[in-house]
Amino acid sequence: MGAPVLSARLTPLGIPLFDGYSTTISFNADPDISFWEKTVTPPGIDGGDAIDHTTMHNSTWRTLGPRSLKTLTEFTLTAAYDPDLYDEICALLNVATSITVHFPDLSTLVFFGFLRLFEPGAHEEGAQPECTITITPTNWDPVNLVESAPVMTETAGT
């Protein structure tokens, strides 16, 4: 029976982000959409739930394995907005397009996806109205009809 192999933690390569300011989102189908990002949670990457490989021949432990495919996860942002955004959302909602996350260090993450949800927050005296926008990555090129991986372009020095 094999045993897991010990590994040392090495000093990471690259440069960590020190401040989330300024992270923005752009839609190729509407690059000047009328919202102003306040918080952005970039998409994550999910390998999916483990595949159970347990059989009646296991003696002590359930055995699991990784899936083959990955998911670029759905993500949200909060923003200030112009009421005109309602018309822009109606035109952009569920439209497959290229979406870009612009990171503070000028790195970019570009992928295919669509704007899935626009939710205005409560309006109250003394506070700027905000909305929450939910974006779903698809990794599907709607023009060439093929799977398309996200493209991460790092700035020099990262």
**Tens digit of pLDDT for each residue in 69-89?**
999 999 999 999 999 999 999
Which residues touch 116 (CB under 8 Å, ≥6 apart)? 74, 93, 94, 134, 135, 136
Mean pLDDT of 110-124: 98
Domain residue limits, the chain: 24-153
Give the tens place of pLDDT for each residue, 6-61: 999 999 988 899 999 999 999 999 999 999 999 999 999 999 999 999 999 999 99
Average pLDDT over residues 95-100: 98
Residue 157 has pLDDT above 90, yes or no: no
pLDDT at 2: 84
The CATH code of domain 24-153 reads: 2.40.30
Spatial distance between the Cα atoms of 102 and 40, rounded to a whole number of angstroms: 10
